[in-house]
């Protein structure tokens, strides 16, 4: 074990660990599956190379490339990170809200395969298949030895320090409120969207951050090995990094470092000990290495999908319950119902001729109605009446085929869900939609808007910058937990709760967003009747405090007790509107729903 | 002009190979819900099975039959042994794709470990050359095109007129509803893996015949063409994949007249990215 060997190992481990940290941030934390990750490392490598190399006529002009600026260290490495980050921008159209994550991943994979093919075949820009060589090491100059052991150790130390800095950065991002938003998006992007998270912006930030980290790792690598060619960054190299992150533990940054040491570095080392024999076919050992990587991925995803070091649970200490259960909504918007003109409260939300078609079927067929401020309006109807579809269109989760949605006097038909949520129009979902691998407390905190730490900049500025906002949010969440009797479950994973408890978490989470109007999709389904009654009473109290609620519900008893007015839907249309007592008197309503 | 017409001929052959591959891929995705990226690896597995038969002194066409059977079998086993257990556990679609990438490495480099990684060719004649209106096609190329047309007709007949095909369509549309209607979804899914695996094997051998020489990694890039054809027509749409294959096959080969042949895949790639970005449900799919 000579020192050259040790150095080599350290530098490779540092570079791989850095790349895995970038990938872990994208895939493990934010749930952005970037199958083209390796092209960002490749871009960083080429950027560092052409920034550091002299013009391509040097050395007899045996290789051709663009650039050749002969820039001094550290500019090539900075350039590598910048190019890696900027390269991510064209891909943002793949990761918006529209495209399924697996399709976006396929797009990135295909891009990686094709870019490799193009660079291999086109020589003038980056010297094609042969790749670039004689890439200068940092500080390389005539008379300065870059092969001395002192220099090599300094290089290794530099690489390790930079990897440490990247580790520090991604941890700082992940442990901030911003990181919680990223993890919420990973768990369920539709729900995160409906809570005001801008998915496109979050994913773009992660593609760029991860791309810059990958680029820097590529820059460091080429400065060390002094060559860079398409053979070094085939699409399968991305799979190796994925294997490392999955095995180490996606979402745990130390796991990513461990995975980097076990998989890319470990494989390189193990195969050194395989005796070379002339009897073996030439490609046998490298081929079997790939087979082994594939096996590791599949076996680990089956046996231990959370990896060797799983994501750690974030315990949040609850403040002592000071105000004895905090009566009333934590911070109610407005106080009394605002009245307009004729003594009737003002209209908050209005649907005008809203239509939604699914392949020729009109699920919602020209619905018009309005919800007045401070009311707990019920929406009932038989299965398939279009209630949930309507709710989704009001919240922006689903686009309307035609018609308009007016909220607080403004036409919001074209607004995406996250903007409506930020404007105070927040929905819940019919199916369980809690962020499973976030604690109950984190589920609540994830819905808070306006936290200073809920942006990339705020996250990087650090805890001192956002602590006050965070503490206020925790106090608010703790008060809600107390009120709904879930205080002792604050640090349990939401995925481990009972069905009824999850419904509560969802309602509390929606309240944490400080909505002025709530859209609830069967909030009491599967909840114990006693608890349902308590939820109903809380909702009535919220409305008395000025909030407006539109609630889809099946239980007529609940409608009777809490909702006024009630809107009846059947076959995609509004059938009737009024108090339950009035509705019971109308034959068409009774026929459509109340009896049948 | 003659170059253009000649490239049209190549385009039709590529489209024929691509149509067989894409229809299999898209049906597999529609019914089983697995975006099986290992499909191209199984294609090359089939190509090498036929090569082994061919090396044993038999005709490539016999090898083709053996490869079709082998790929149907390996696809069923892949589902039973890997994908179905993951799905039963409720694994997220994106994780399924990662599993399929892992399987890609296992199959593709497993083939390479056995075959040795050098390019090989089948021992076969090309048949008489046919000329028609400037089109120059070998007999083998004509056979490939006829095979593709037969396969398309068979798929059409299967989906349209057989009980199994209707059950496949029902399962693709809504698996739990199909199950509640008395369709034995697990049987339909196994049958789908067998049928699409057979198509995959057939595609692999005709791909290898068309390519002339091939190695274990030859289908990596062909996967781009498959995905482009599938997404152009709409993922899960059998007729969409046929249309997509025709467009992509012709576009790649004809574009090679105007741009260096090394870059002909760029067209397919651009089509794929545009479809993903603008209309991920494809031309024949319903808008999102």
* B227 interfaces chain A, CB cutoff of 8 Å: yes
Judged by CB atoms closer than 8 Å, whether chains meet at B109 and A297 is answered as: no
CB A43 within 8 A of CB A208: no
Mutation target vs B (from A187, A271, A298, A397; most B CBs, 10 A cutoff): A298
CA dist., res. A213 & res. A84, Å (int): 7
Domain spans in chain B, listed from the N-terminal domain onward: 16-216
* B287 interfaces chain A, CB cutoff of 8 Å: no
Look up residue B277 and give its two tokens.
């970005």
How high is the pLDDT of residue B9? 86
Query: Is the model's pLDDT at B49 over the cut of 50?
Result: yes
Distances (CA, A) of A94 to A34, B272, B275: 10, 11, 10
Distances (CA, A) of B189 to A376, A460, B31, B42, B79: 47, 49, 7, 18, 9
Q: Which of A215, A235, A255 is the last residue of a domain?
A: A235
Q: Are A378 and A229 contained in the same domain?
A: no
Q: Which of A185, A200, A235 is the last residue of a domain?
A: A235
DSSP A593: I
DSSP A349: E
Q: Which domain holds residue A164?
A: 3-235
Q: What CATH number should be reported for the domain holding residue A424? A: 3.40.50.300
How high is the pLDDT of residue A595? 52
* B265 interfaces chain A, CB cutoff of 8 Å: yes
Per-residue pLDDT reduced to its tens digit, B150-209:
999 999 999 999 999 999 998 888 888 888 888 888 899 999 999 999 999 999 999 999
CA dist., res. B253 & res. B246, Å (int): 11
Mutation target vs A (from B26, B37, B94; most A CBs, 10 A cutoff): B94
Residue A10: Cβ within 10 Å count: 18
Query: Is the model's pLDDT at A102 over the cut of 90?
Result: no
Decide if A519 is inside a domain. yes
CA dist., res. A228 & res. B218, Å (int): 23
CB B190 within 8 A of CB B76: yes
How high is the pLDDT of residue B137? 84
Torsion-angle region of A274 (φ positive above 0: left; ψ -120 to 50: alpha; else: beta): beta
Decide if A240 is inside a domain. no
CA dist., res. A404 & res. A148, Å (int): 72
Element (H, E) at B137: strand B135-138
Query: Is the model's pLDDT at B48 over the cut of 50?
Result: yes
CA dist., res. B59 & res. B107, Å (int): 25
pLDDT band of residue B271 (cuts 50, 70, 90) is: confident
Residue A16: Cβ within 10 Å count: 27
- Distance, C-alpha A525 to centroid of its chain: 28
Query: Is the model's pLDDT at A342 over the cut of 80?
Result: no
Could you tell me which residues come within 8 angstroms of residue A437 by beta carbon, excluding any fewer than 6 positions away? A183, A187, A311, A493, A495
Contact list, B116 vs chain A (CB under 8 Å): 281-284
Sign of CA dihedral A158, A163, A167, A170: positive
Query: Is the model's pLDDT at A286 over the cut of 60?
Result: yes
Decide if A230 is inside a domain. yes
Smallest Cα distance from B112 to chain A, Å: 6
Query: Is the model's pLDDT at B241 over the cut of 70?
Result: yes
DSSP B55: H
From A98-102, A518-522, B93-97, the region with the lowest mean pLDDT: A98-102
CB nearest A298 (choices: B99, B221, B277): B99
Contact list, A243 vs chain B (CB under 8 Å): 102
Q: Residue A57 burial by CB count (10 A; 0-12/13-18/19+): exposed, middle or buried?
A: exposed
Buried b (16+ CB within 10 A) or exposed e, A437-473: bbbbbbbbbbbbbebbbbbbebbeeeeeebeebbeeb
* Residue in A closest to B261 by C-alpha: A121
Judged by CB atoms closer than 8 Å, whether chains meet at B280 and A110 is answered as: no
Interface of A with B in 333-362 (CB under 8 A): 358-359
Mutation target vs A (from B81, B109, B235; most A CBs, 10 A cutoff): B109
Judged by CB atoms closer than 8 Å, whether chains meet at A305 and B220 is answered as: no
Could you tell me which residues come within 8 angstroms of residue A109 by beta carbon, excluding any fewer than 6 positions away? A35, A36, A235, A238, B37, B101
CA dist., res. A382 & res. A422, Å (int): 32
* Residue in B closest to A113 by C-alpha: B221
Judged by CB atoms closer than 8 Å, whether chains meet at A287 and B110 is answered as: yes
Q: What is the ipTM of this complex?
A: 0.92
Q: Residue B180 burial by CB count (10 A; 0-12/13-18/19+): exposed, middle or buried?
A: exposed
How high is the pLDDT of residue A322? 52
Query: Is the model's pLDDT at A339 over the cut of 70?
Result: no
Give percent above pLDDT 70 in chain A: 94
Peptide bond into A355 cis (omega under 30): no
Judged by CB atoms closer than 8 Å, whether chains meet at A99 and B276 is answered as: yes
CB pairs under 8 A between A and B: 139
More confident: B11 or A144: B11
Element (H, E) at B214: strand B213-214
CB A211 within 8 A of CB A82: no
Which one, of A41, A35, A8, A60, lies nearest residue A228 by Cα? Answer: A41
Decide if A253 is inside a domain. no
Interface of A with B in 215-274 (CB under 8 A): 235-236, 239, 242-243, 246
Query: Is the model's pLDDT at A540 over the cut of 80?
Result: yes
pLDDT band of residue A327 (cuts 50, 70, 90) is: very low
pLDDT band of residue A324 (cuts 50, 70, 90) is: very low
Contact list, B109 vs chain A (CB under 8 Å): 287-291, 294
Interface of A with B in 295-314 (CB under 8 A): 295-298, 301-302, 305
Contact list, B93 vs chain A (CB under 8 Å): 100-102
Mean pLDDT of chain B: 90
Length, in residues, of chain B = 288
Q: Are A213 and A345 contained in the same domain?
A: no
CB B11 within 8 A of CB B33: no
CB A580 within 8 A of CB A559: yes
CB nearest B280 (choices: A103, A239, A298): A103
CB nearest B112 (choices: A99, A283, A294): A283
Strand-pair category, A347-358 with A517-521:
unpaired
Give percent above pLDDT 90 in chain B: 65
Q: Are A208 and A351 contained in the same domain?
A: no
* For residues A484-503, average pLDDT: 90
Query: Is the model's pLDDT at A43 over the cut of 90?
Result: yes
Q: Which of A188, A203, A235 is the last residue of a domain?
A: A235
From A215-219, A278-282, B79-83, the region with the lowest mean pLDDT: A278-282
- Distance, C-alpha A545 to centroid of its chain: 34
* For residues B224-251, average pLDDT: 92
For chain A, what is the domain count? 2
Look up residue A201 and give its two tokens.
């912006």
Q: Are A362 and A230 contained in the same domain?
A: no
* B127 interfaces chain A, CB cutoff of 8 Å: no
Query: What are φ and ψ of residue A320, in 5° steps?
Result: -60, 140
How high is the pLDDT of residue A335? 40
How high is the pLDDT of residue A531? 84
How high is the pLDDT of residue A332? 42
CA dist., res. A136 & res. A144, Å (int): 12
Judged by CB atoms closer than 8 Å, whether chains meet at B262 and A121 is answered as: yes
Peptide bond into A74 cis (omega under 30): yes
Sign of CA dihedral A432, A438, A442, A446: negative
Contact list, A101 vs chain B (CB under 8 Å): 93-94
Mean pLDDT is highest, among A67-76, A165-174, A312-321, B273-282, for A165-174
């Amino acid at each position: 074990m000579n020192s050259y060997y040790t150095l080599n190992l350290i530098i490779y481990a540092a570079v791989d660990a850095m790349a895995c940290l970038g990938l872990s941030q994208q895939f493990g934390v934010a749930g952005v599956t970037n199958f083209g990750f390796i092209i960002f490392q490749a871009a960083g490598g080429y950027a560092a190379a052409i920034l550091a190399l002299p013009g391509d006529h040097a050395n007899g002009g045996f290789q051709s490339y663009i650039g050749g600026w002969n820039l001094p260290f550290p500019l090539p490495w900075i350039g590598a990170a910048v190019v890696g980050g900027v390269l991510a921008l064209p891909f943002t159209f793949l990761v918006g809200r529209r495209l399924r994550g697996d399709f976006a991943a396929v797009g990135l994979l295909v891009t990686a395969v094709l870019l490799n093919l193009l660079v291999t075949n086109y020589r003038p820009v980056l010297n094609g298949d042969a790749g670039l060589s004689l890439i200068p090491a940092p500080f390389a100059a005539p008379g300065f030895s870059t092969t001395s052991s002192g220099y090599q150790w300094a290089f290794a130390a530099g690489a390790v320090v930079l990897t440490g800095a990247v580790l520090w950065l991604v941890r700082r991002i992940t442990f901030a409120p911003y990181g919680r938003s990223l993890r919420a998006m990973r768990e369920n992007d539709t729900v995160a969207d409906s809570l005001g998270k801008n998915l496109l912006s979050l994913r773009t930030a992660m593609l760029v951050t991860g791309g810059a980290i990958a680029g820097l790792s590529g820059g460091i690598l080429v400065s060390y090995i002094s060559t860079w060619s398409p053979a070094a960054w085939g699409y399968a190299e991305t799979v190796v990094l994925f294997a490392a992150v999955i095995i180490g533990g996606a979402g745990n940054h130390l796991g990513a470092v461990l995975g980097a040491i076990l998989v890319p570095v470990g494989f390189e080392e193990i195969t050194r000990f395989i005796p070379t024999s002339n009897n073996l076919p030439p490609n046998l050992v490298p081929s079997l290495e790939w087979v082994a990587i594939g096996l590791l991925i599949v076996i680990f995803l089956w046996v231990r999908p959370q990896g060797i070091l799983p994501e750690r649970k974030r315990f949040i200490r609850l403040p002592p319950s000071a105000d004895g259960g905090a009566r009333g909504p934590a911070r109610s918007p407005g106080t009394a119902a605002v009245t307009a003109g004729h003594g009737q409260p003002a209209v908050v939300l209005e649907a005008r001729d809203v239509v939604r078609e699914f392949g020729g079927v009109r699920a919602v067929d020209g619905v018009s109605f309005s919800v007045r401020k401070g009311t707990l309006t019920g929406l009932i109807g038989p299965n398939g009446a279009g209630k949930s579809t309507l709710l989704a269109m009001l919240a922006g989760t689903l686009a309307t085929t035609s018609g308009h949605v007016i909220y607080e006097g403004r036409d919001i038909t074209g607004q995406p869900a996250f903007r409506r949520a930020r404007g105070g129009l927040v929905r819940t979902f019919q199916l369980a939609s809690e962020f499973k691998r976030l604690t109950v407390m984190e589920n609540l905190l994830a819905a808070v808007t306006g936290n200073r730490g809920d942006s990339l900049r705020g996250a990087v500025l650090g805890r001192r910058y956002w602590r006050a906002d965070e503490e206020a949010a925790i106090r608010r969440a703790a008060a809600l937990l107390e009120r709904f009797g879930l205080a002792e479950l604050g640090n349990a994973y939401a995925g481990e709760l009972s069905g009824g408890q999850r419904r509560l978490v969802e309602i509390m989470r929606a309240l944490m967003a400080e909505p002025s109007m709530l859209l609830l999709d069967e909030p009491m389904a599967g909840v114990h009747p006693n608890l349902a009654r308590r939820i109903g009473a809380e909702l009535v109290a919220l409305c008395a405090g000025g909030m407006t609620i539109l609630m889809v519900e099946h239980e007529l008893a609940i409608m009777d007790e809490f909702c006024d007015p009630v809107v009846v839907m059947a076959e995609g249309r509004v059938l009737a509107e009024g108090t339950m007592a009035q509705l019971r008197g109308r034959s068409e309503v009774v026929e459509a729903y109340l009896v049948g | 002009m003659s170059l253009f017409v000649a490239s049209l001929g190549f385009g039709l052959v590529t489209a024929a190979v691509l149509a067989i591959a894409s229809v299999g891929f898209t049906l597999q995705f529609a019914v089983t819900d697995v975006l099986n990226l290992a499909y191209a690896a199984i294609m090359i597995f089939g190509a090498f099975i036929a090569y082994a038969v061919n090396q044993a002194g038999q005709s490539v066409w016999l090898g083709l039959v053996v490869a079709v059977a082998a790929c149907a079998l390996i696809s069923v086993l892949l589902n039973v042994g890997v994908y179905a257990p993951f799905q039963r556990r409720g694994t997220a679609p994106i994780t399924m794709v990662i599993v399929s990438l892992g399987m890609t490495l296992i199959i593709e480099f497993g083939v390479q470990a056995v075959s040795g990684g050098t390019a090989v060719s089948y021992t076969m004649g090309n048949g008489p050359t046919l000329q028609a209106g400037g089109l120059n096609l070998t007999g083998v190329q004509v056979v490939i095109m006829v095979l593709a047309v037969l396969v398309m007709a068979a798929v059409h007949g299967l989906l349209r007129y057989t009980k199994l095909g209707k059950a496949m369509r029902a399962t693709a549309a809504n698996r739990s509803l199909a199950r509640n209607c008395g369709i034995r979804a697990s049987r339909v899914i196994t049958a789908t893996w067998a049928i699409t695996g057979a198509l995959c094997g057939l595609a692999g051998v005709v791909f290898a015949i068309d390519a002339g020489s091939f190695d274990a990694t030859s289908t990596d890039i062909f996967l781009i063409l498959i995905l482009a054809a599938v997404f152009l027509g709409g993922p899960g749409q059998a007729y969409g994949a046929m249309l997509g294959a025709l467009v992509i096959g012709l576009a790649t080969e004809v574009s090679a007249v105007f741009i260096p042949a090394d870059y002909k895949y760029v067209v397919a790639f651009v089509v794929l990215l545009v479809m993903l970005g603008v209309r991920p449900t494809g031309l024949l799919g319903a808008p999102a």
